[in-house]
Amino acid sequence: MFDISFMEMLIVAIAALVVIGPERLPKVARQAGQWTTKMRRYVDDVKSDFHRQIELSELRDLKKDVEEAARSIEGSVGGAMTDVKSSLDSVQQSLEEPSGSGTANPEPVTNWDQIYAVRRTRERIKDRRVERELERGFKRPRRPLSR
C-alpha cells in the first residue's frame, strides 16, 4: 500500500532506537501496534456499514419494483373482473327479460354476441393465468391423449 522497502524499515527502526531509547522502544512499538489495530477495525467497520447501506438501498428499489408490478397486476385483474361482471350481468338481464309475445310457448332468444363475449373473456382469463404460470416457472403436466 505504501510501498516501503526493507531498507527503509531498517533505517526507521534504527532511528527509533536512537531517539526513543532501548528501554521505551518495546512500549512504544506495542502502543503503535494497538493504534494500527484500532485503525484497521475502524476502517473495516466503515466498509461494512457502507456495504450494508448499499444493500439496503438495493432492497428498497426492489421493493418499489415489486409494489409497482403488484399494482399493475391488480389493475389488470380488476379490469378483467369488471368485464366479466358486465358480461354476466348482461346475460342475466337477457335471461330475466320477459318475452313480450304473450304466447304460451315463447320462442327462446339466443344472443350469440353475449355468449361469444363471455367465451372470449374466459379465454383471456385462461391465457393470463397461463402467462403468469410461465413467468413463475410452473410447468403444467401433459394430458394423455384421449382415444
- For 7-47, the pLDDT digits (tens) are 988 898 899 889 988 899 889 889 989 999 999 999 999 99
How far apart are the C-alpha atoms of 73 and 69, rounded to whole Å? Answer: 6
At 93 the three-state DSSP class reads helix
Confidence of residue 92 (pLDDT cuts 50, 70, 90): confident
The DSSP secondary-structure symbol of 4 reads: -
At 147 the three-state DSSP class reads coil
pLDDT at 61: 92
119 and 87 in contact (C-beta within 8 Å)? no
The end-to-end CA distance of the chain, in Å, is: 78
Cell of 2: 505504501
Backbone angles phi, psi at 38, to 5 degrees: -60, -40
Q: Under 8 Å CB-to-CB from 75, ≥6 apart: which residues?
A: none
- For 41-76, the pLDDT digits (tens) are 999 999 999 999 999 999 999 999 999 999 989 988
Cell of 21: 531509547
Provide the residue type at 74 as one letter.
E
